[in-house]
Structures are given as structure tokens and as C-alpha cells.
């Protein structure tokens, strides 16, 4: 079969790959160079993972300034700095709007398409890449990458990329944007990590992040480590599932030490603890479980009220309930149940009582502010938002995203050892790194 020749081949047609294609093709055009850029995507259409971002609404970036934005980046945010300043969140919005996408900014500086349809973000990214001159080829599952050296000194003459359908692509510059391991049904199956290792790179330990963490006894199968989301809920899990708590506090404790404290919204789902603050603690939580540590969380249902004030308030409520003539002949447990809806959502009461079986009106304040749960499991790559770990930052040049091990090879997006909290940060990482990798590869190609 004939070999298809290009100047730059990009493996992966997700957020990073499409932006790399746009950046490379735009750079060629602005320099008057007739460069050929090809994006190879294994799935039938590009951007499959973007389609499920933000439950299909696609929170595609966050408008916080770098000083605050960087606090949400892991493990070393400064690696991202050159990429971010090359394409800031504001510039990303301008970029998408220049191709016709209407956007809105909502609570927490989070940007969305005005339609709240992720498909419109995908269509706009494809439009940007193709109008700039990049060619998007779908159904191209890469099976092998060969590197051909120019001379004995090891300089790269070209790369040869072979696909499962027998097609072969030859290029001078190669950008790998294959994503991580999360949501494998979207095409993220970790292929890029193996190719990176074959070309001399080390991979920092991989683990699921922005995922549900599972309290002990929440599932019928009660183990430690990865527990598939499809495992059925226990009676406790069923009682908790569906509760969405607003403005609560959550402290993560590892081996007896409080290591992270969050405030915000928490959801109990069929997976476990999720929602904004559940996701925020998941990175450190999963990592600790993998390292064999003892992990627990403390839930504060009344973070805005001091313990003494809450204790006093409960005492007054108890007096009111007890003195009500309608309750005169009722048992203690029934009067106690009458009081609880004044302090928590009705739907939470059965689970709260089940998890705190010995609580009474005198110990209720402590239970409301110190509801402890041992965390023994987590949902894995089948439903996590992002993969933590990846190609080591130390082996990539931050200003260009070119490999220090293999000249002409670039990495961008989730494949890098670079991830973030929920809130639009991870997609911005993909956009910024992809765009810089594309621009750098095109500039280097005709330098």
C-alpha cells in the first residue's frame, strides 16, 4: 500500500489533537508555507470524549487568572505556564467565537457553549482545524510507530505511522495526543503510553482522578481499591444514593492526618461520593489507597455554624418538640425523627440514622459536624473524568512540548503527567498544550 506523506502527523483527534492541527496549519499558512498536516483519529468521528464533558454541556475552560488557575493544576503547574500564556482561557474563548461558537460564563468562572451542547464545541474545533488546512482522518487506529534516524548521531529523519487498516503515514514531525485511560469507550485506551516508552520516555504512575470514591459498606462487594461502578449498592448505599448536599464541608484524612479540606456541593451517586468536592478530594484519595494508606473523610453538614451554637440550637429544638402536646405520648425515637427534618434534608434522614445508629439529641451536633466515613474504594477508568500521571514532565521541553529524548516528537493533552481539578481546567490544558505543540512543530519543521 502507498505511503501517505505529510509534514506533521497528529495522533488523536480529541481536544489536544484538533487544536494541534489548527495551530500547526495556521502557522504554516501565516509563514506562507504549503505544509501538510494530518490528524489520525481511531474513532468514527473526532472529539468523542468532549461530547460527554460536563454531562454533555461541555464546561470547556475556566476564566481564572494564572495565579488562581495554576492552583488547580497537578502535579507541577509551572510546566503548563508557557502553553497557558500562549493560549489563555480568554484567548480560547476568542478562538472559538471567531469560528462562530457562542459562549457563556457561569458560576465559578466556568465557560460553556451558549447552547450547552458539547457537540457544538466539537464541530467548532473540527471547523477550526480543517479551515486552517489540517486533514482529519477518522477510523485510523495506529498500531505502530517507527522512527528513522538521519545519521549515526540519532537525529530523526522521519516517523512512519502504521494503522490497523494497512495505511501508512510518513512525516517529519509527530505529535501524540492520544489522551489517557479514562472512558475507554471514547477511544482512550492508553496506546500513547506504550509508544512513548518505546521512544525512550518514562511514564509517571497512572491512576484515575476526578472519580467517585467509595465508603466502606456502600457497595455489596466491599473491597479495597478499584470497585467497578456497576457493582450493586448495599442497603446503606441505596439509602445515601441520590442525595445532593449543598454547601457542606469535607475533610480528607490519610493515615491519621487531615490533608485536604473542601467546601461546596457533594453528591451521593451509584458510584459513591461525587460532585464538585467529592471529585476534588479524589486525586489524593485514590493515590493514598493505591499506596496502602488508611483513608477516611469527615463530612460537616453544618460548616457555617460553630459546634456550640449548633448544640444550643438543637437543645432548643428538642425542647420545642418535647413540649408539643401532640408528641406527649410518642416514643423518644419518634420525637427525635420529628426534629431531624429541621436540621437536614428529609431524604438524607434514613441514611444518616443508619450510619449513626447511636445518635441522640445530645450527640447530634457532633454527628452533624463530624460524620466520618472510611473510604476503601474508587471507581476506575471506566467512569473517571481524567487520568493522573503520564509522560514525565522532566523529559519534555515546556516552551515547545518537544521530547528531549526524541527530536521531532511532541506530546500534548492528557497523555502528559498533567491533570487538574474539575471546572474546565482539564480541557484548557488540552487546548493550550495542543495548540503550542502544533505551532512549535510547524515552526521547527521549516526553521
Q: Which residue has the higher pLDDT, 417 or 189?
A: 417
Residue 447's pLDDT band, with cuts at 50, 70 and 90, is low
What is the torsional sign of CA 160, 195, 37, 182?
positive
Left (φ > 0), alpha (ψ -120 to 50) or beta: where does 266 sit? Answer: beta
Q: Stretch 390-397: mean pLDDT, rounded?
A: 98
pLDDT of residue 395 exceeding 70, the answer is: yes
CATH class of the domain at 3-206+390-445: alpha beta
**Tens digits of residue pLDDT in 191-221:** 999 999 999 999 999 999 999 999 999 999 8
User: In the chain, what are the domain boundaries?
Assistant: 3-206+390-445, 211-383
Residue 153's pLDDT band, with cuts at 50, 70 and 90, is low
Q: Stretch 135-164: mean pLDDT, rounded?
A: 85
pLDDT of residue 419 exceeding 80, the answer is: yes
CB 249 within 8 A of CB 233: no
**In this structure, what C-alpha cell is assigned to residue 37?**
498536516
Closest CA to 231 of 244, 242, 217: 217
SS3 content of the chain, % helix, strand, coil (to 5): 40, 25, 35
Q: In the prediction, which pLDDT does 2 show? A: 74
Average pLDDT, the chain: 95
11 to each of 18, 96, 275, 293, 436, how far by Cα in Å? 10, 22, 32, 37, 15
97 to each of 84, 148, 266, 331, how far by Cα in Å? 18, 41, 33, 64
Q: In the prediction, which pLDDT does 1 show? A: 61
**Tens digits of residue pLDDT in 24-72:** 999 999 999 999 999 999 999 999 999 998 888 999 999 999 999 999 9
Q: In the prediction, which pLDDT does 207 show? A: 97
Q: In the prediction, which pLDDT does 157 show? A: 81
Residue 350's pLDDT band, with cuts at 50, 70 and 90, is very high
pLDDT of residue 151 exceeding 80, the answer is: no
Q: In the prediction, which pLDDT does 262 show? A: 97
pLDDT of residue 416 exceeding 60, the answer is: yes
CB 134 within 8 A of CB 37: yes
**In this structure, what C-alpha cell is assigned to residue 42?**
481511531
Residue 152's pLDDT band, with cuts at 50, 70 and 90, is low
Q: In the prediction, which pLDDT does 55 show? A: 81
**In this structure, what C-alpha cell is assigned to residue 8?**
506533521
**Tens digits of residue pLDDT in 249-260:** 999 999 999 999
Q: In the prediction, which pLDDT does 150 show? A: 64
Closest CA to 54 of 125, 106, 126: 106
Q: In the prediction, which pLDDT does 191 show? A: 94
CA distance 34 to 6: 11
Apex CA 57: angle with CA 51 and CA 63, to 5°? Answer: 110
Residue 185's pLDDT band, with cuts at 50, 70 and 90, is confident
CA distance 25 to 30: 9
Contacts of 309 (CB under 8 A, 6+ apart): none
DSSP designation for 238 = H
Q: In the prediction, which pLDDT does 445 show? A: 72
pLDDT of residue 352 exceeding 70, the answer is: yes
Q: In the prediction, which pLDDT does 155 show? A: 57
Single pTM value for the model: 0.93
Amino acid at each position: 500500500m502507498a505511503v501517505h506523506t505529510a509534514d506533521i502527523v497528529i495522533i488523536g483527534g480529541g481536544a489536544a489533537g484538533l487544536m494541534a492541527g489548527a495551530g500547526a496549519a495556521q502557522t504554516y499558512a501565516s509563514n506562507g508555507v504549503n505544509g501538510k498536516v494530518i490528524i489520525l483519529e481511531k474513532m468514527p468521528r473526532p472529539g468523542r470524549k468532549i461530547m460527554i464533558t460536563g454531562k454533555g454541556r461541555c464546561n470547556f475552560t475556566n476564566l481564572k487568572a494564572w495565579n488562581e488557575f495554576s492552583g488547580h493544576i497537578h502535579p507541577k503547574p509551572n510546566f503548563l505556564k508557557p502553553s497557558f500564556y500562549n493560549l489563555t482561557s480568554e484567548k480560547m474563548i476568542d478562538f472559538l467565537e471567531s469560528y462562530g461558537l457562542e459562549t457563556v460564563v457561569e458560576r465559578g468562572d466556568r465557560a460553556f457553549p451558549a447552547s450547552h451542547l458539547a457537540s457544538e464545541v466539537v464541530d467548532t474545533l473540527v471547523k477550526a482545524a480543517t479551515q486552517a488546512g489540517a486533514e482529519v482522518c477518522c477510523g485510523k487506529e495506529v498500531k505502530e510507530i517507527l522512527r528513522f534516524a538521519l545519521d549515526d548521531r540519532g537525529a530523526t529523519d522521519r516517523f512512519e505511522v502504521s494503522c490497523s487498516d494497512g495505511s501508512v503515514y510518513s512525516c517529519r514531525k509527530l505529535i501524540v495526543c492520544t489522551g489517557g485511560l479514562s472512558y475507554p469507550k471514547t477511544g482512550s485506551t492508553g496506546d500513547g503510553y506504550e509508544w512513548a516508552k518505546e521512544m525512550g520516555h518514562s511514564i509517571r504512575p497512572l491512576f484515575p482522578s476526578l472519580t467517585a470514591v467509595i465508603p466502606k459498606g456502600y457497595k455489596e462487594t466491599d473491597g479495597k481499591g478499584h470497585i467497578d461502578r456497576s457493582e450493586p449498592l448495599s442497603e446503606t448505599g441505596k439509602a445515601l444514593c441520590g442525595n445532593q448536599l449543598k454547601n457542606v464541608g469535607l475533610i480528607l484524612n490519610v493515615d491519621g492526618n487531615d490533608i485536604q479540606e473542601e467546601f461546596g456541593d457533594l453528591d451521593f451517586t451509584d458510584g459513591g461520593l461525587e460532585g464538585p468536592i467529592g471529585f476534588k478530594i479524589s486525586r489524593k484519595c485514590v493515590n493514598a489507597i493505591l499506596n496502602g494508606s488508611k483513608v477516611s473523610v469527615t463530612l460537616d453538614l453544618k460548616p457555617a455554624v460553630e459546634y456550640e451554637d449548633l448544640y444550643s440550637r438543637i437543645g432548643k429544638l428538642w425542647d420545642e418538640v418535647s413540649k408539643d402536646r401532640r408528641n406527649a405520648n410518642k416514643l423518644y425515637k419518634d420525637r427525635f425523627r420529628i426534629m431531624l427534618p429541621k436540621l437536614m434534608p428529609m431524604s438524607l434522614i434514613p441514611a444518616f440514622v443508619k450510619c449513626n445508629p447511636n445518635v441522640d439529641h445530645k450527640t447530634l451536633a457532633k454527628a452533624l459536624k463530624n460524620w466520618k466515613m472510611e473510604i476503601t474504594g474508587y471507581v476506575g477508568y471506566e467512569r473517571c473524568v481524567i487520568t493522573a500521571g503520564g509522560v514525565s514532565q522532566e523529559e519534555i521541553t515546556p516552551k515547545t512540548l518537544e521530547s528531549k529524548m526524541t527530536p521531532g516528537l511532541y506530546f500534548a493533552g492528557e497523555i502528559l503527567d498533567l491533570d487538574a481539578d474539575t471546572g474546565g481546567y482539564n480541557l484548557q490544558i488540552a487546548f493550550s498544550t495542543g495548540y503550542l505543540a502544533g505551532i512549535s512543530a510547524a515552526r521547527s519543521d521549516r526553521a
